Amino acid sequence: MNLVEALAISKQALPEDTHPLRTFLACGFTPLHLQTFLAAHLRKRLPQQRVELKTGLFGDLAGSIERLPSSSCDVLAVVIEWQDLDPRLGIRSLGGWRAADLPEILKSANQAAARLEQALRRTSASIPVCICLPTLPLPPLFTTSTRQASAYELQLRQLVGSFAASISSESSLRVLDLQRLDELSAPSARLDVQSELMAGFPYKLPHASAIAELLAALIQNPTPKKGLITDLDDTLWAGILGEVGTEGISWDLDQHTHMHGLYQQFLGSLASAGVLLAVASKNDAALVEKAFERKDLILSKENIFPLEVHWSRKSESAQRILKTWNIAPEAVVFIDDSPMEVAEVKAAFPEMECIVFPKNDYQAIFELLKRMRDLFGKNVISEEDSIRLKSIREAGILRESGNIPGRSLDDFLQEADASIRFAFGKQAADNRAFELINKTTQFNLNGKRLTEAAWKAYLNDPAAFVMTANYEDKFGPLGKIAVLLGRIQGKALRIESWVMSCRAFSRRIEHQTLKQLLEKFDAKEISFDYQATPRNGPLQEFFAQLLGVAPTVDLRFSRATFSEKSPSLFHHVEEVVNG
């Protein structure tokens, strides 16, 4: 993006009736074109949102952050440069580059980093913070030649590395990846000496645009994809199974098919982070079964569910996989080496990301892995991520058990030996609860999403409560599957948000949730900020079944009504402070 384009985008009419994304850009230099580029990249990424961008006091990065009232913005973007750690690490200051000054520069940089870290941690308790570490070359202040790294330079880089590693442990602090920045902006073409000295703006325009582009992506923090459907032949492995047999397929250096091994390894990594994997292959099922018995496969069959192996259309396989996973096509990536199969699935599911596996092109496969990391990347791996696939498998068993003739749902639920742990603590670090609120569509009270800032404000509001539910039965744990946000007003409860994972349907967890809530707060009445959405059919159905009528906007009922209408519940219930 060049500056003319950025100015044009920034000056487009803003959507008026939406909640603005109030962004604060903190940097120690004059923000000038970086501000323009950041506003433009944010507008480009969030066309439906009004972006407001404010900046702090120049030359005082830490002070700008320390003085920032967290209620005044939704997200903080911080761009650190070397001179923010010590002015002598820039070129505008003439504080001395004598050999004797170097230990002192290092010491003051350590102090500045500690102050910055403290300010960033404090701010991140209220709003998300996106940080760009120093990107400019250090000036030639060290006594070694520029070919040789000075011990002081290495210590400065170590300081920044340790600082970044320390703050990135906070889920609300997101650090921009400098390796990715290097791909977009060559390190030798970043510093604009004239602009720095004459205008106080140190970046060449393409570099400013690259930083802004990546910062905007960090701020947007797009929802990661949830599932990946892969082909087998010439994708998961090299070779056509039906032609070369189980011993003929390969994924190793000797056969020059190592990239398929790398792809398997990558899928294993995704699975370990909670991504659902399935196979859609036109193949002989018995042969595939045998192929998966090979001990040298990098990706375990245990990581894949379901396997759709037959000769029907791939779009039919994709349809069945989506049904098993119970997720929407836009949350899924489909990968196949055949452009025709990819086109067929894309035609059936336009919202699905469908990608041709670039077999025989090492570099393109490597680029594909990077692209997929962007599609599936997440900040934190939760306990639920590790049990998601297992619980989907068990949901299938549960559905089948529930369909046995002559046995009622009550019989089945009674034998399930289910327990629910309800928690009412407000843990700011509870990413799972925040994630559930922002990605659940089907059992969702109103479809409203929360920004990280709004979520933190909710946690800090003494009048509000957060209830979460962890579920487990004889088929295994489901982890944290429900979140409810509300307020108590005398003897009445007002529920503002309620979501439950689709993996937890058909277990009457929603009934038990309301029962516990009414009992805990000794409430006489409960009302809901309910809104029908195109996707929340399961929630509408729940209320319709419970009350005997379709829910309306002013949804409320008494405790007595609930007690009268609620079906039998068989869960063991436990209440804890923090779940």
Partner 1 sequence: MDEMETRLIRCFSSVFPDLTTEQIRSADMETVPAWDSLAAVTLVAILQEEFGLQINLMDLPELVSFVAVQNYVRKHNVVS
Q: Which residues of this chain interact with partner 1, rule CB under 8 A?
A: 2-4, 7-8, 11, 32-33, 36, 194-195, 198-199, 201, 205
Q: Rank residues 33 and 480 by Cβ distance to partner 1 and give the closer one.
A: 33
Smallest distance, Å, CB 32 to partner 1?
Answer: 7
The nearest distance, CB 40 to partner 1, in angstroms, is: 12
Closest CA to 413 of 512, 499, 518, 542: 512
Judged by beta carbon, residue 9 or residue 238, the one nearer partner 1 is 9
Least separation in angstroms between residue 3's CB and partner 1 is 5
Q: How far apart are the first and last CA of the chain?
A: 46
Residues in the chain: 579
- Closer by beta carbon to partner 1, 3 or else 355: 3
One-letter-per-residue 3-state SS of 403-452? CCCCCCHHHHHHHCCCEEEEECCCCCCCHHHHHHHHHCCCEECCCCCCCH
In terms of CB distance, is 35 or 446 closer to partner 1?
35
Distance of closest approach, residue 58 Cβ to partner 1, in angstroms:
12
- Give least dist CB 84 to partner 1, A: 21
Taking the least distance from each CB to partner 1, the nearer of 33 and 282 is: 33
Q: How far apart are CA 574 and CA 565, in angstroms?
A: 23
Min dist CB 198 to partner 1, Å, is: 4
CB nearer to partner 1: give 3 or 464: 3
* Of residues 34 and 271, the one with the C-beta less far from partner 1: 34
Closest separation between CB of residue 7 and partner 1, Å? 5
C-beta closer to partner 1: residue 154 or 197: 197
Residue among 200 and 402 whose Cβ is closer to partner 1: 200
Q: How far apart are CA 124 and CA 421, in angstroms?
A: 29
**Smallest distance from the beta carbon of 484 to partner 1, in angstroms?**
48
Tokens representing 337? 């080496």
Pick the closer one to partner 1 by CB: 197 or 347: 197
Q: What is the CA radius of gyration of the chain?
A: 27
DSSP 86-146: -GGGSSS--S---TTHHHHHHHHHHHHHHHHHHHHHHHHTTS-EEEE---SPPPS-SSS-T
Least CB distance to partner 1 at residue 8 (A)? 6
* Whether the Cβ atoms of residue 337 and residue 234 lie closer than 8 Å to each other: yes
> Quick one: 36 or 516, whose CB is closer to partner 1?
36
Provide, rounded to whole angstroms, the least separation between the CB of residue 387 and partner 1: 52
Query: 554-562 long-range CB contacts below 8 Å, 24 or more apart?
Result: 554/527, 555/527, 555/528, 555/530, 556/525, 556/526, 556/527, 556/528, 557/525, 557/526, 558/524, 558/525, 558/526, 559/518, 559/523, 559/524, 559/525, 559/526, 562/514, 562/515, 562/518, 562/526
Residue 574, SS3 per DSSP: strand
Smallest distance, partner 1 to C-beta of residue 53, A: 14
Q: Residue by residue, what is the 3-state secondary structure of 153-175?
A: HHHHHHHHHHHHHHHCCCCCEEE
Close Cβ partners of 39 (under 8 Å, ≥ 6 residues apart): 6, 9, 10, 51, 53
The Cβ-side half-sphere exposure at 273, using a 13 Å CA radius, reads: 18
Round to whole Å and give the CA distance between 564 and 311: 52
